[in-house]
Structure 1
Amino acid sequence: MVALTKQLAPAEGYTETLLNGVTIMRSNRPLTHTQALYEPSIVIVLQGRKQGMHGGKLYVYDAQHYLVLSVPLPFTTETQASEAEPMLGIALRIDPSITAELSVAIEAEESPHSVPATLYATRLDDKLQDATLRLLEALTSPLEAKLIGPSIYREITYRVLIGEQGGSLRAAYQQGTNFGRIAKVLRRIHTQYDLDLDVATLAGEAHLSVPAFHAHFKAVTATSPIQYIKAIRLHQARMMMIRNGISAGSAAEQVGYESPSQFSREFKRQFGRSPTDEVRHLKEVMALTPATHRRENSRRTQHRYPHLRETARTLPKLAG
């Protein structure tokens, strides 16, 4: 798995794969106290070690343990890695519809119910490890990534849902619970952070009173709605500056800030550095590399089979 991961991600940072929602992570150096923003994800580390701190709790994910996040969440991470032994991992974005569908089917067969969890780290068992290996193998081939990659991705989701702490993830996708209502609001904030988001409106969308919304929101995220919205905007602005090369002023405007000076103050308070210094510090570590196999194999295929060029235009893209 380490050899396949190195092949799929020759560069440091994040590398897209041929399957939408699946990204390879690589770090050739140790990183301390890094502010991170994870989507709802399954994160499997194959070499090295990462640990995250959230709500006063420490979560370790390494070659024996994987991390699961049921909601979009900013938290602090540390990475143990070196040039000789880089940290290598694979992150699978959780698909809400697939996860909810599988959760309902599993709950129909299993009666015990668990308490929803925002995130957890748990042991990587043999069957999940085997499915991860098969996914990595499939991602080295455009045809296999397209034809069998989605089924392996679905199997990995299933393995996580029936895993040692899978009940916590299944519970997070139950309809009508307070956790589910907050999770829905978090997904909205995560995608519409540039809009005017006021707490009263968000509470109404969750069908909760404002005091109850505050209480349940903090229980899920360990912070207040206002602080969470601010953190999401700052994380998104940082990512725009790192990956799109835009200025701090432009990033501030795109995430909903009206005052560039306020943005700079809050950015430094969040990350401990000015926007310019933070971008310089993390540009390599958080760089996003497109899936190289797709481009190389596509050129090779079109050279050998020119009649496929038009057909290829009608096929859906598997990666962004």
Structure 2
Amino acid sequence: MKNIAELAQLIARHAPGNGIFPTGMPRLSVIRSDRTSTPTPAVYEASLCLIAQGSKRVSLGNDSVVYDASRYLIVSLDLPLVGDILEASAGAPYLCCKIDFDQAALADLLMTESGGLPKPGLPVLAAYPGDPDLIDAACRLVRLLDRPETIPALAPLIEREVLYRLLTGPHGPMLRHVAASGSHLNQVSRAIAAIRRRFDTRLRIDEIAAEAGMSSSALHAHFKSVTRMTPLEYQKQLRLQEARRLMLTGSANAASAGFVVGYESPSQFSREYRRLFGAPPRQDIERIQTDAGYQIAV
């Protein structure tokens, strides 16, 4: 537990208030909340999430996973999840670090391996018992924030170590399948990337399928099997979350946010926004701005 205690101290130092805080490393974020939260939908990037204090539940469709300081979470590819913080208080805030996967480094690590590809047999979203080596690597990564000049040289090495430990851990077979060219999971991952690149334009299934190397019917079947959504539903969630972000940052108001992310009908935007977030755009933003713990997504 010594390393977990250190990780909690490091996160608390670099997350000065409630919220999700980007850092000087593009794939590292630190998160803090001094209160529990309501279930909130969000698209989680492929990542490792390590809680140092508190607990969280995330759900993919009807499947839920609870993780805390004794269990780490792996999100194998960008997934539409619903998350809520279960344990947090002012005296013992929820503290978490999120390390997004460097896909190029992951592919490079896999090139050094030989042998056939094992069957995945694992969920794309899973929690596993805490690994002291992973926690130690996370501590060393977050500690670099105290010496920013060391980040360019050392951060890639530590991130690579994290990926290596995940590949040699219990979730390794699933990560190999996601990264393996030609696997259904890799094809779905490519489709997700294509949708995210142009989420604010009209979705053309045949083009997405071609980029993923699948037929349109196969894309629908495998995409929904993995994400519990159709490609169109996934795009809709991306649009609504981007609209929410724009309103929160002041980049757009409720009247224009829908147009910015690709909606042509304000009434359709408001209706779908309310269905996803539980309130109309303006009311939802006011709720978030008066409740500092509401927007915690990871």
TM-score by length of 2: 0.90
| Contact 2:33/2:296 (<8 A) preserved | no
User: Which residues of structure 1 form unaligned runs of 5+?
Assistant: 289-320
Partner of residue 63 from structure 2, selected from 54, 57, 68? 57
Quick one: structure 1 residues 240 and 287, their matched pair in 2 at CA, closer, same or farther if it must change by over 3 Å?
farther
Aligned to 1:35: 41
| Contact 1:190/1:232 (<8 A) preserved | yes
Partner of residue 75 from structure 1, selected from 56, 77, 81? 81
Read off the aligned partner of 2:109 and give its amino acid letter. L
CA deviation after TM superposition for structure 1 residue 70, in Å? 2.3
RMSD of equivalent CA atoms: 2.0
Partner of residue 118 from structure 1, selected from 124, 137, 156? 124
- Alpha-carbon distance in structure 2 between the residues aligned to 1:258 and 1:109: 51
- Alpha-carbon distance in structure 2 between the residues aligned to 1:270 and 1:196: 20
- Alpha-carbon distance in structure 1 between the residues aligned to 2:153 and 2:207: 43
1:172 equivalent to 2:174? Answer: no
Quick one: structure 1 residues 128 and 70, their matched pair in 2 at CA, closer, same or farther if it must change by over 3 Å?
same
1:132 equivalent to 2:138? Answer: yes
Read off the aligned partner of 2:189 and give its amino acid letter. A
- Alpha-carbon distance in structure 1 between the residues aligned to 2:73 and 2:237: 21
| Contact 2:196/2:238 (<8 A) preserved | yes
Read off the aligned partner of 1:43 and give its amino acid letter. C
Aligned to 2:230: 224
For 1:204-262, what per-residue CA distance to the aligned partner results, in whole angstroms no more than 9, with x for missing partners? 33232222221111111111121111111111211221134521232212211111121
Which of the two has higher C-alpha Rg?
A: 1
- Alpha-carbon distance in structure 2 between the residues aligned to 1:81 and 1:216: 37
Read off the aligned partner of 2:273 and give its amino acid letter. F
- Alpha-carbon distance in structure 2 between the residues aligned to 1:111 and 1:209: 23
CA deviation after TM superposition for structure 1 residue 87, in Å? 0.5
Aligned to 1:145: 151
1:47 equivalent to 2:53? Answer: yes
1:193 equivalent to 2:196? Answer: no
CA deviation after TM superposition for structure 1 residue 76, in Å? 1.0
Aligned to 2:218: 212
| Contact 1:99/1:173 (<8 A) preserved | yes
| Contact 2:194/2:211 (<8 A) preserved | no
TM-score by length of 1: 0.84
| Contact 2:117/2:176 (<8 A) preserved | no
The count of aligned residue pairs is: 287
| Contact 2:195/2:208 (<8 A) preserved | no
Secondary structure of 1:32's aligned partner: coil
> Which region of structure 1 is more displaced relative to structure 2, 241-250 or 225-234?
241-250
User: Which residues of structure 2 form unaligned runs of 5+?
Assistant: 1-6
